[in-house]
Homo-oligomer: A and B are copies of this chain.
């Protein structure tokens, strides 16, 4: 008996060693993946309330990680939000606002530091598969901003000479001149032109395949993978495998395919044995493009959507999965923004921050599950042309007087065509208590005059720093976008 017991104890010891061996062992250089949606709304995933289709992979990812409820895009429009994500700066600090059109003659300035450059400096392999939208001439493309590999569209998938129902537009249509070609790039070269909706439907699959191959190839390196999908931006299209699968038309089908893609990425991490040492962040660039009726997503009840500095425009779904670090199945309600990713990744990898001023702060305590940490106390809602439209401190949001682009009362079309643009109306000052009123419905400035004062002071600090076109205040710490030779 004695022998059995000692064997058993010995075996138990081996088992525990094995368990220690198998347990998550986060290193100072975890792989980092950022999966970025285009125009996905706050309410578009199962875990954020969607009911007409299933997102099992993202729901599971949330149950294995942290789901954020106050994660803000830096601006409610494509190029600006992407510039912010990659550089850790408010987009107006670096001169990239709004959405860049093809041949815009400008792009992300070489002097900015992207996440890819920062992590490359720490020995990371860097790959990007998807939509860039930070300048479409060679000098601005991803390979010139720290990425080793790149396949994707240089700008939005609606910047082509094709009608919303998939038919090429006539010779005199404005789009014929503005958008001559929708190129699928590989590195700096055009692989081929995307000319039909069916080809658009392949994009999610193409990006996913490239990403999975990249993971496999670099499973022994630390790597940074940036996967900004072109979908569910209009024109939406799902591959044959997902067509008709949801109860919510093409939009639901497309989100289901994106969810599948996330599942493939997470599966690839497991299959390559690096699941326990990889941080995955999932979020979206801005809220749903409500003009497009049922070709747009849902804000889950937040006010308005893309192109507006309301919560519906800027509050995003965000899920962080990091086994052994981010506590499973938890929720983080603290304020954070996509400008905080660069400094967070720097903190994780002990990388030096850029010498120039950035706006992000490390939210690593939140990634580690400290729900009482408040690394981001203040957030500025700038809109393109450097308009300071609102400021936020904790749960208090002061909307400053500006030209409104409100979708209130709009009845978006249901056919996927743009609805009637809302009238421009002045937006008066309003104070919202986002804790009790995330829908920005009840102006409570009369009840809380002291809070208004505090927030007005914060707005003034923003103007001092970054400027404000509305009040004709110049910024003191702003930099410029990069210009092409002919625009210099």
Chain A 12-23 interface 0/1 with B at a Cβ cutoff of 8 Å (1 = within): 000000000000
User: Shortest beta-carbon distance, A103 to chain B, in Å?
Assistant: 36
Contact B330 A63, beta carbon cutoff 8 Å: yes
Whether the Cβ atoms of B331 and A46 lie closer than 8 Å is yes
- Least CB separation from A299: chain B residue: B436
Pairwise interchain contact B334-A51, C-beta atoms closer than 8 A? yes
* Count of chain A residues near B, Cβ 8 A: 47
Task: Provide the residues of chain B in CB contact with A327, threshold 8 Å.
Answer: 63
A52 cross-chain contacts in B, Cβ below 8 A = 395, 435
Of the candidates B63, B333, B394, the one whose C-beta lies within 8 Å of that of A50 is B333
Instruction: Choose from B46, B62, B438 the contact partner of A371 (Cβ within 8 Å).
Output: B46
Asked whether, in the complex, the Cβ of B442 is within 8 Å of the Cβ of A439, the reply is no
Interface residues of A in 173-187 (CB under 8 A from B): none
**Is A464 an interface residue, CB under 8 A from the partner?**
no
Q: How many copies does the complex hold?
A: 2
Interface membership of A11, Cβ < 8 A: yes
User: CA separation between A386 and B52, bound complex, in Å?
Assistant: 32
Interface positions, chain A 319-360, Cβ under 8 Å from B, are 327-331, 333-334
- Residues of chain B contacted by A437 (CB below 8 angstroms): 301
Given contacts A43-B435, A298-B435, contact A447 B328 (CB under 8 A): no
A148 at the interface (CB under 8 A from B): no
State which of B7, B43, B330 has its C-beta within 8 Å of the C-beta of A436. Answer: B43
Q: Does A1 contact B (CB under 8 A)?
A: no
Cross-interface CB contact of A439 among B7, B46, B331, B439, cutoff 8 Å: B439
Q: Is A272 an interface residue (CB 8 A)?
A: no
- Top 7 A-B residue pairs of the complex, sorted by shortest distance between their CB atoms: A329-B329, A63-B329, A301-B438, A301-B439, A439-B439, A298-B436, A51-B333
Partner of A329, one of B43, B64, B435: B64
Contacts of A63 in B (CB 8 A): 63, 327-330
Known contacts A7-B7, A447-B411, A447-B414: A331-B438 contact under CB 8 Å: no
